[in-house]
């Protein structure tokens, strides 16, 4: 079976999963030493506007007028890239944009922290059970997120998940998702040794591509805005509707 055919099989199996016991085989999702989770859409969906409004208010504060984020691909992007794209699209020279990003980022973080009580996390199905079980089995857990660090940590705390994770990489000095994933992978290897087997878990095609860019396996969960078919096209090692599906695979 060539690579393309393998992907088609994976997508079909994932699409039909809820109605068909014929599951994709061969991927041992329990066989890793560490798991690195994306936050938005993977661990939780945030049913509030706090993060979005922080962008708008920060830009307004620095530039004195609103700049729209409308139409930008925010899911699977990073806070720095979203800012960069929005400001460049508004015609601001790149040199000025890059000079203003640290101030905007700091404003955003402060605003999200100040409004943390307004965050409305909706945990993705079976996430607490999965984290608990992995931890009890001696697995090590980390976060790889396109959020600015203070924002990502505020979200984890509001979701009651911050205690599970011992290493993390966020969008800070890193701009692209692949850079963030690489940094998270290095943090895991630094802690656990170079031979440690690490798997990413994400909810966007960008997560799949970033993990592959680091040469790491990835489980894609369709708990964000992307469907199994959209996720499957990028060739994740496993593509499932939600984390709760994982236990079905453990019976194979």
Chain residues in the site for Mg ion (CB under 5 A): 38, 40-41, 203
> Toward Mg ion, which CB reaches closer, 38 or 237?
38
> Considering beta carbons, is residue 46 or 107 the nearer one to Mg ion?
46
Pick the closer one to Mg ion by CB: 165 or 192.
Answer: 165
Shortest Å distance, C-beta 65 to Mg ion: 30
Distance of closest approach, residue 222 Cβ to Mg ion, in angstroms? 11
**Least separation in angstroms between CB 70 and Mg ion:** 20
Q: Which is nearer to Mg ion, 207 or 237 (CB)?
A: 207
Residue of minimal CB distance from Mg ion?
A: 41
DSSP string of the chain?
Answer: --HHHHHHHHHHHHHTGGG------S--TT--SEEEE-SBTTTEEE-SSHHHHHHHHHHHHHHSS----TT---TTS-HHHHHHHHHHHTT--HHHHHHHHHHHHHHHHHHHHHTGGG--EEEPTTHHHHHHHHHHTT-EEEEEEEEEHHHHHHHHHHTT-GGG-SEEEEESS--SHHHHHHHHHHHHHHHH-TT--EEEEESSHHHHHHHHHTT--EEEETTSS--HHHHHTT--SEEESSGGGHHHHTT-
Output the smallest distance, CB 46 to Mg ion, in A: 11
């Amino acid at each position: 079976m060539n690579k393309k055919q393998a992907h088609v099989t994976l997508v079909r199996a994932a699409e039909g999963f809820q109605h068909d016991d014929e599951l994709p085989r061969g991927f041992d999702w329990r066989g890793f030493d560490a798991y690195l989770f994306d936050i938005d859409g993977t661990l939780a969906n945030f049913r509030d506007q706090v993060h979005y409004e922080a962008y708008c208010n920060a830009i307004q504060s620095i530039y004195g007028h609103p700049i729209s984020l409308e139409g930008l691909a925010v899911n699977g992007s990073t806070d720095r890239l979203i800012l960069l794209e929005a400001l460049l699209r508004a015609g601001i020279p790149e040199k000025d944009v890059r000079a203003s990003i640290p101030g905007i980022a700091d404003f955003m973080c402060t605003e999200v922290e100040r409004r943390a009580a307004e965050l409305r996390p909706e945990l993705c199905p079976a996430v607490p059970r999965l984290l608990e079980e992995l931890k009890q089995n001696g697995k090590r857990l980390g976060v790889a997120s396109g959020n600015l660090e203070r924002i990502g940590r505020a979200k984890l705390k509001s979701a009651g998940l911050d205690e599970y994770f011992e290493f993390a990489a966020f969008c800070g000095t890193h701009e692209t998702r692949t850079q963030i994933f690489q940094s998270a992978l290095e943090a895991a290897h630094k802690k656990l040794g170079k031979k440690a087997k690490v798997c990413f878990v994400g909810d966007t095609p960008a997560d799949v591509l970033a993990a592959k860019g680091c040469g790491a396996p990835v489980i894609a969960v369709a708990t964000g805005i992307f469907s199994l078919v959209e996720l499957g096209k990028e060739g994740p090692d496993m593509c499932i509707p939600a984390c709760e599906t994982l236990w079905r695979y453990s019976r194979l």
